[in-house]
Amino acid sequence: MPFRQAKWDEPIIFEVSDFSKQTFLIDDEFADEASEVLSKVPKSLIRGGELKIPDLSEVEVVRHYNRLSQMSYGVDVGPVPLGSCTMKYNPKICEELASDPRITDLHPYQDEEEVQGVLEIMYLMQRWLSEITGMDECSLQPPAGAAGEFAGALIIKKYHHDRGNYNKNEMIVPEAAHGSNPASSAMAGFKVVKIPTAPNGETDIEALKSVLGDNTAGLMLTNPNTLGIFESSIVEISDLIHGKDALMYYDGANLNGILGVVRPGDMGFDIVHLNLHKTFAAPHGGGGPGAGAVCVKKGLVDYLPVPIVGFDGRSYKLRYDLSRTIGRVSWFYGNVIPIVKSFIYIATLGPALREVAEVSVLNTNYLMNKLRGLRGVSLPYGENRWRKHEFVVSFENLLKETGVSAEDVAKALLDRGLHAPTIYFPLIVNEAHMIEVTETETKENIDKLAKAYEEIVELAYRDPQAIKSSPTNTSAKRLDVLVANHPKTLAPTYEYLRRLRIQET
């Protein structure tokens, strides 16, 4: 196996050095003024407790973090086929341009006159995202997709309240939905009603009809859904929902599968949220930052979080004049840096955005075709359906026959220098691997991934223990999750760790 991850026994920052070194130089030009002030401050307000920050030289800090980065893995290193995460290549031109001081050094309270450039970028993004989703206006304020979802749920809530329909307190969500959907609905005060997926892989319309009623506020749907299957009855579903005076909400996490091919607005959706760090190539940052956007049809524009960017024919302005706004979902205007990166991305590709969808779907089905025939692997739901940008396989049979689980297979992939896909999601599939091959993956890489799965499955039948003992080529071997989570051995900071060590000795 041609993969060995760096393995440094890198001390925790507090243990890097036993000595105090000279740290980053800060001037003492105003030391006199400072001590003058501090002499008048009551002792209780002065820092009393020890500041446990190590005093390291610059070289030590740089090496420490560089070594840590070598023990990490990003899409710049190899494929990260995590379903619904759309880990695509992050173009370097986006990184470079977004780091321009004429963006990074702008203060949000500068007069709009002084920041026409960034406002123009945001305005164009609002327009472009509206066009892409078939909506009429967008707010870029939500700092991530989940925040956008929450904004969407609040819009639905306020919309019904404004019309006196306080009884509309139920949000319908498919069982296969992303966990943030019911969570966002609950945060907005809704009851969540989950509906099942039919054997063909689409949302069960009969189940939907059975719960659709006067108390329905809206339906939250991802399309293509988390199985990667397109909800072909979407227009019928929209009509049903609208017929009950409820709203259609689109979870945009899976937009990569339909970009430029079909738009949520044309499917009948009223509100959309987008994840700029997924479909629009802003990097994931090891967990964040991301950037969300919430887009709506005409009748709901007044509800958007404020401010949005407006253009009066001459200049760009921050608009707060949305009469029914749900308010702010965050301070300031949005996560500008990822917004700028996405702007560069869309500007570069333009109409070629459609190619993104076509190739990501082609790539995904190509891989799916190779994996579905493997022994121990099954493709539950809609076995004759093409998927879009992602697919879900089950290792249920492998588990029964060899004892090797989906988790074990994932760890074996790591050993081959390939990041594992999402595992154990969606919950409607047992021993699931949810795999998304974005359009930035080459055929060679996809073949490599397929071959790796093939080898792992074959090995599972021959020598399951070999799989269960992986990974061995990564920086660390399997970790003790029980110890990590147990109240007695929990260690979320260095202080906890220190105390545990003392206890052990």
Partner 1 sequence: MRLGFVVNPIAGMGGSVGLKGTDEELYEEAMRRGAKPVAPSRAVRFLQALSGKGFQGIIIAANSVMGCDYLSSSKLRFTCLDLPEPSKRVTSREDTLRVVKAFLERGVDLIVFVGGDGTARDVLSVVGTEVPILGVPSGVKMYSGVFATSPEVAADVVIGFEKGGAVVDHAEIADVDEARLKEDLLNVRLYGYALTPLIEGLVVPSKDLVSGSEEEKWSIAKYFIEDYMLPDILYFLGPGTTTKAIMDLLGLKKTLLGVDAVYNGELVGKDLSESEILNLIGRYGRASLVVSVIGRQGYVFGRGNQQFSARVLRLVKKDNIFVLATPSKLVEIKYLLIDVGDPELELELSGYWRLITGYREETVKLVLPACCLDRFLRA
Partner 2 sequence: MPHSWIPNSSPDVKKELMKELGIGDTLDLFNDIPPKIMLNRELSVGFGKPLTEYSVRRLFNEIISKNRLSTIPSFIGGGVCQHYVPSVVKAVLSRPEFYTAYTPYQAEIAQGLLQALFEYQSLMANLYGVKIVNASMYNGSTASAEAVLMAARVKKKKRVLVSDSIHPEIIDVLRSWGFGAGLEIVKVRVDLKSGETDLSDLRSKLDLNVAAVFIQTPNFFGVVESAIKEIIEETHRFNALSIVYSNPLTLGVFEAPGNLGADIVVGDVQGLGISLNYGGPSAGILGINDDKELLRQLPGRLIGATRTLSGDELGFTMILQTREQHIKREKATSNITTNSSLEAVGAAVYLALLGSQGLKKLGEAILGRTHYLIKRLLSAGVAEPLFPESLYFREVSVRFRGKDAGQVIKSLSSRGIGIGPTLSRFYRELSDCSLVCVTELHTRKDIDLLVEVLEEVLGGG
Give the Cα separation of 260 and 271 in Å (integer): 18
**Which of 501, 471, 472, 500 lies closest to 487, judged by CA?**
500
Q: Are 437 and 360 in contact (CB under 8 A)?
A: yes
Q: Which is nearer to partner 2, 74 or 461 (CB)?
A: 74
Give the Cα separation of 319 and 206 in Å (integer): 43
Would you count residue 475 as binding partner 2 (CB under 8 A)? yes
Would you count residue 167 as binding partner 2 (CB under 8 A)? no
Pick left, alpha or beta for residue 419 (phi over 0 → left; psi -120 to 50 → alpha; otherwise beta): beta
Segment lying near partner 2 (by CB under 8 A), choices 203-211, 373-381, 411-419, 426-434: 411-419
Q: Which is nearer to partner 2, 23 or 397 (CB)?
A: 23
Judged by DSSP in three states, 223 sits in coil
Judged by DSSP in three states, 295 sits in strand
Pick left, alpha or beta for residue 403 (phi over 0 → left; psi -120 to 50 → alpha; otherwise beta): left
Segment lying near partner 1 (by CB under 8 A), choices 51-59, 291-299, 323-331, 423-431: 423-431
Give the Cα separation of 317 and 100 in Å (integer): 22
Would you count residue 196 as binding partner 1 (CB under 8 A)? yes
Would you count residue 218 as binding partner 1 (CB under 8 A)? no
Considering only residues 426 to 455 of the shown chain, the ones binding partner 1 according to CB under 8 A are 427
Would you count residue 320 as binding partner 2 (CB under 8 A)? no
Q: Which two tokens stand for residue 118?
A: 């960034």
Which residues, other chains included, contact 427 with Cβ-Cβ below 8 Å and sequence gap of 6+?
175, 176
8-state DSSP, 10:
P
Find which of partner 2, partner 1, none residue 320 binds, CB within 5 to 8 Å per kind: none
Would you count residue 120 as binding partner 2 (CB under 8 A)? yes
Interface with partner 1 (CB under 8 A), residue from 95, 120, 358, 407:
407
Q: Which is nearer to partner 2, 102 or 375 (CB)?
A: 102
Considering only residues 139 to 178 of the shown chain, the ones binding partner 1 according to CB under 8 A are 175
Q: Are 116 and 316 in contact (CB under 8 A)?
A: yes
Would you count residue 289 as binding partner 1 (CB under 8 A)? no
Q: Which is nearer to partner 1, 170 or 441 (CB)?
A: 170
Axis crossing angle, helix 353-372 with helix 443-462, rounded to the nearest 10 = 20
Interface with partner 2 (CB under 8 A), residue from 162, 239, 401, 495:
495
User: What is the nearest approach in angstroms of partner 1 to the Cβ of residue 76?
Assistant: 25
Find which of partner 2, partner 1, none residue 308 binds, CB within 5 to 8 Å per kind: none
Give the Cα separation of 494 and 501 in Å (integer): 10
Interface with partner 1 (CB under 8 A), residue from 90, 141, 226, 405:
405
Would you count residue 136 as binding partner 2 (CB under 8 A)? no
Segment lying near partner 1 (by CB under 8 A), choices 39-47, 187-195, 281-289, 384-392: 187-195
Would you count residue 132 as binding partner 2 (CB under 8 A)? yes
Give the Cα separation of 195 and 197 in Å (integer): 7
Interface with partner 1 (CB under 8 A), residue from 211, 347, 491, 500:
211
Would you count residue 210 as binding partner 1 (CB under 8 A)? yes
Considering only residues 37 to 56 of the shown chain, the ones binding partner 2 according to CB under 8 A are 37-38, 40-42, 44-56
Would you count residue 192 as binding partner 1 (CB under 8 A)? yes
Q: Are 273 and 152 in contact (CB under 8 A)?
A: yes
User: What is the nearest approach in angstroms of partner 1 to the Cβ of residue 4?
Assistant: 24
Q: Are 133 and 153 in contact (CB under 8 A)?
A: no
Give the Cα separation of 426 and 287 in Å (integer): 20
Q: Are 81 and 390 in contact (CB under 8 A)?
A: no
Place of tokens 């440094």: 8
Residues that bind partner 1 (CB under 8 A): 175, 182, 186, 190-196, 199, 204, 206-207, 210-211, 399-400, 403, 405-407, 423-424, 427, 465, 468, 481-483, 485-486, 488
